[in-house]
Structure 1
């Protein structure tokens, strides 16, 4: 009976170590993914802007972070806000608009930061600007909720906004690139940088796995010694 408990405890220890190691490996994979994104960001400003409507919808993923020229019509007339975004250590909103492309599909446009809501109507007129192509983040069960009645969203969520408006919004968006005139909305910087701490996270998980193994082996040794 004692041996059975001992081996069961050992199994728990091994499973715990494997879980911690797998979390470290996952962070290594995330680091590789982030390095690829950072390389795209570094190369993107050197490449000529591509006309967005010339890119097939199934090829948009290949042009992420590239500068694109957007032509179409401004539509839907309302602003949408992504809440709890920071600019120079101040909490503010990202203000979103919608552009209708020549393909009759719609895409969100991120105009940048505003300190307060600016509800306004946007007349339908031609759009022609340079932007940076981005992919909307995935939504998970633990993601913060939206407040659509107030036009407030916790993330850029084309699916939810599109359903509310009854339009087909692509799962991408464009950062509106323009000079900073000192007026709101404050534009997204032309040179985009992203933090990469995944390697540090991986080392933390590996260190925890090592500590877990040392502590568990020590505990098992004491239990075995006591039982003897």
Structure 2
């Protein structure tokens, strides 16, 4: 009876921790399925740009649009591994039906930025996206220097007097000199469930080891007693 309560407490605690680990494994499978669906959607054949794209149902939708690049392209500060700092070029694109949307043309290193990207008639193949990059720590854009610190679709659209519709280019025909497209992918979507599962399973093992150590020490005779 002396060891029953610690044993029950130890096994119950380990069972809870293992249950949390199993739940995270299930969440991992669910998240991987979602990411696979998104990747398949991203890579699908492009279709014509919808008349009224919805930020929820049309996110990542593969589309294509033809139009003329307009003046006033915005520069969004980014950094790339092995290359360093640069800008995403977000340009207004006027379509044949006079709609004015935005195209994320891609990356330009800071030391290679050119002044204008307007005047060219291009076809953009890519994906509709409404990136969620703005939080309470994001600085306001420096509109004087034309430097933005995140892709804020509503704010950029208001600044460019365009629809809040952004196509992130996978391919531009003809290519825009000096600009490398940065296509949409799932790398920015967090998937930490495996790490969480390992943490919970590790805590379950530690909990059992501590329970066993406590019970073993409780069984040892008290030393140093006078006879």
- TM tier, shorter chain? 0.5 to 0.7
Equivalence for 2:109: 115
1:21-77 CA deviation, whole Å, 9 max, x = no partner? 5444433322111111222244x2xx3x5332x544349834834241234x644x3
TM-score, normalization by structure 1? 0.65
Does 1:218 pair with 2:214?
A: no
RMSD: 4.4
d(CA) in 2 for partners of 1:109, 1:167: 13
How far residue 215 of structure 1 moved from its aligned partner, in angstroms, is: 1.1
d(CA) in 1 for partners of 2:48, 2:175: 26
Equivalence for 2:148: 153
Q: 2:93 aligns with which of 99, 103, 108?
A: 99
Structure having the higher helix fraction is 1
Equivalence for 1:28: 29
**How many aligned residue pairs are there?**
213
Given the superposition, is the C-alpha separation of residues 213 and 160 from structure 1 closer, same or farther in structure 2, using an over 3 Å criterion? same
Does 1:40 pair with 2:35?
A: no
Structure showing greater radius of gyration is: 2
TM-score, normalization by structure 2? 0.66
Q: What are the ranges of 5 or more consecutive residues in structure 1 without an aligned counterpart? A: none
Q: What are the ranges of 5 or more consecutive residues in structure 2 without an aligned counterpart? A: 220-227
> SS of the counterpart of 2:57?
helix
1:165-186 CA deviation, whole Å, 9 max, x = no partner? 2846425433162268694012
